């Protein structure tokens, strides 16, 4: 397992220092704008290079209260980080639950140990605050929840402000789950202001509303601040990528045998085996003809939005749930999506490394690399 960040004895003095820092940051944000005049004007070229290809380390520091066992199984060790680098990936995206971060006396030390290990392995880090849905909903209705989010960012950004700007970027909020672009834009502006008070030279990654789909991105107006990257998530078509999923739309858990690419001919055989309530959805999916060309048209909307506004974009999540997708179809989709994003200069982070969408299999290290999946994505095919 990972080494601890530092001994436990200085925690209380640091907690007092952090308390004073949090108060000063909140007051400063309330009294000022985004601090853009003191910030860098664009992301560091080395950071942009690292963000070309990466992977999500899902559930390592999220969902601790509700799914402690999942977090334990998702813990990342030195061998994992070494493998990620050997595959030719340049960065890892790490989500953090702000409630856990603020409630646990040991959380910051534990998190920093993980981040330090990733940096020691030569990987850049995208640190994303990733609260649960109820917390995100409260951000748009409860000023106290908003204040707590800013305090969480202040707590974690303070030690990371000493890192090189090429080593870490701050992702404001994972999938805001709010459909009003103006309200999301205001929240993002406030988060950027908080971060610019602490780490004025570091890049901030901004999410649009909803679940950060391409539709959400193209409806979003960029912020006035500079040195930002805009993220989106790509799981189209969801009836393929989420077949068998037990969360989200209740029908997904019943879906199986949805092929990629899709066409009326491709779904003819699966239709014979599908349950009656699934058949109309599968038939419609065949009629939609999801293939490389249709994926390209969808990604073109994101890249055209970026060109129009003169801002960089990055795909922070994409992938296929393993449960009911045929491995060959899963690999075909991943091959098309990674190739299309590379052709458009869009960096990406696969969802995920060791979870149910994973690049590896096994609940704990040592994990087994899916070499066929890695090859489909153009990664180096190595063994742990």
What's the pLDDT band for 2 if we cut at 50, 70, 90? very low
List, in sequence order, the alpha helices (H) in 178-222.
Answer: 181-198, 214-218
Closest among 224, 230, 236, 229 to 209, alpha carbons compared: 230
Burial of 222 from C-beta contacts in 10 A (0-12 / 13-18 / 19+): middle
Q: Is the pLDDT of residue 199 over 50?
A: yes
Q: Is the pLDDT of residue 364 over 50?
A: yes
What's the pLDDT band for 235 if we cut at 50, 70, 90? very high
- Give residue 92's region: left, alpha or beta (phi > 0; psi -120 to 50): beta
Give dist(CA 106, CA 3) in Å, integer.
14
Q: How many Cβ atoms from other residues are within 10 Å of residue 253's Cβ?
A: 16
Better-scored residue on pLDDT, 352 or 38: 352
Tens of pLDDT, residues 25-67? 333 333 334 443 456 899 999 999 999 999 999 999 997 655 5
Res 15: pLDDT: 38
User: In the chain, what percentage of residues exceed pLDDT 70?
Assistant: 86
Strand partners, 368: 361
Tens of pLDDT, residues 272-287? 999 999 999 999 999 9
Measured at the CA of 29, the angle between CA 28 and CA 35, to 5 degrees, comes to 95
Q: Assign 3-state DSSP to the chain and report helix, strand, coil percentages, each to 5.
A: 45, 10, 40
Tens of pLDDT, residues 16-27? 334 433 433 333
Strand partners, 350: 55
Res 73: pLDDT: 67
Tens of pLDDT, residues 59-108? 999 976 555 555 666 789 999 999 999 999 999 999 999 999 999 899 99
Q: Is the pLDDT of residue 300 over 60?
A: yes
Res 1: pLDDT: 23
8 A C-beta contact, residue 106 and residue 8: yes
Res 192: pLDDT: 98
Give the 3-state secondary structure of 89-122: CCEEEEEECHHHHHHCCCHHHHHHHHHHHHHHCC
Res 366: pLDDT: 79
8 A C-beta contact, residue 349 and residue 54: yes
The mean pLDDT value for 328-334 works out to 98
User: In the chain, what percentage of residues exceed pLDDT 90?
Assistant: 82
Mean pLDDT of the chain, nearest integer: 89
3-state DSSP assignment of residue 56? strand
Phi, psi of 354 (to 5 degrees): -130, 15
Closest among 85, 2, 95, 96 to 50, alpha carbons compared: 85
Res 67: pLDDT: 57
Res 301: pLDDT: 99
Q: Is the pLDDT of residue 5 over 60?
A: no
Cα distances (Å, whole numbers) of residue 29 to 194, 203, 256, 294: 6, 18, 49, 43
Q: Which of 59-68, 188-197, 207-216, 320-329 has the lowest mean pLDDT?
A: 59-68
Res 70: pLDDT: 59
Structural domains in the chain?
Answer: 40-236+291-376 (3.20.20.80), 250-289 (no CATH)
The mean pLDDT value for 199-204 works out to 98
| Farthest-apart Cα atoms in the chain, separation | 67
Res 28: pLDDT: 38
Give dist(CA 319, CA 336) in Å, integer.
11
Cα distances (Å, whole numbers) of residue 77 to 104, 356, 384: 22, 18, 12
Closest among 60, 57, 76, 80 to 68, alpha carbons compared: 60
3-state DSSP assignment of residue 19? helix
The upper half-sphere exposure of residue 32, i.e. CA atoms within 13 Å in the direction of its Cβ, equals: 18
Res 107: pLDDT: 95
8 A C-beta contact, residue 95 and residue 174: yes
Res 18: pLDDT: 41
Cα distances (Å, whole numbers) of residue 363 to 72, 262, 372: 9, 32, 19
Strand partners, 248: none
For residues 182-203, one letter each, b for 16 or more C-beta atoms within 10 angstroms of the residue's C-beta and e for the rest, the string is eebbebbbbbbbbbbbbbbebb
What's the pLDDT band for 174 if we cut at 50, 70, 90? very high
């Amino acid at each position: 397992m990972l080494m601890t960040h530092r001994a436990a004895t200085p925690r209380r003095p640091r907690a007092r220092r952090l308390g004073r820092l949090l108060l000063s940051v909140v007051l400063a944000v309330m009294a000022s704008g985004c601090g853009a005049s003191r910030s860098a004007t664009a992301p560091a070229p080395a950071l942009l290079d690292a963000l070309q290809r990466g992977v999500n380390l899902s559930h390592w520091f999220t969902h601790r209260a509700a799914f402690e066992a999942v977090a334990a199984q998702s813990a990342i060790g030195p061998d994992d980080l070494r493998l990620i680098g050997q595959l030719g990936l340049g960065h890892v995206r790490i989500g953090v639950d702000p409630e856990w971060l603020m409630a646990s006396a040991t959380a910051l030390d534990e998190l920093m140990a993980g981040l330090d290990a990733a940096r020691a392995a030569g990987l850049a880090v995208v640190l994303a605050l990733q609260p649960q849905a109820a917390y995100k909903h409260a951000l748009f209705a409860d000023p106290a929840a908003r204040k707590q989010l800013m305090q969480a960012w202040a707590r974690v950004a303070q030690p990371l402000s000493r890192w090189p700007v090429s080593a870490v970027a701050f992702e404001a909020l994972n999938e805001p789950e709010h459909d009003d672009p103006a309200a999301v834009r205001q929240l993002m502006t406030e988060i950027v202001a908080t971060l610019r008070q602490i780490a004025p030279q570091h890049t901030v990654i901004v999410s649009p509303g909803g679940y950060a789909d391409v539709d959400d991105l193209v409806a979003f107006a960029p912020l006035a601040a500079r040195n930002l990257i805009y993220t989106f998530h790509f799981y189209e078509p969801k009836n393929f990528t989420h077949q068998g999923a037990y969360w989200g739309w209740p029908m997904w858990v019943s879906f199986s045998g949805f092929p990629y690419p899709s066409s009326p001919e491709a779904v003819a055989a699966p239709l014979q085996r599908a349950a009656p309530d699934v058949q109309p959805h599968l038939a419609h999916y065949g009629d939609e003809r999801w293939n490389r060309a249709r994926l390209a048209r969808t990604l073109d909307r994101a890249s055209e939005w970026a060109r129009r506004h003169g801002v960089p974009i990055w795909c922070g999540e994409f992938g296929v749930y393993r449960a009911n997708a045929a491995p060959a179809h899963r690999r075909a989709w991943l091959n098309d999506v990674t190739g299309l994003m590379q052709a458009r200069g869009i960096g990406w982070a696969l969802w995920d490394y060791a979870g149910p969408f994973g690049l590896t299999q096994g609940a704990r290290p040592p994990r087994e690399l899916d070499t066929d999946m890695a090859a489909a994505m153009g990664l180096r095919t190595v063994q742990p």
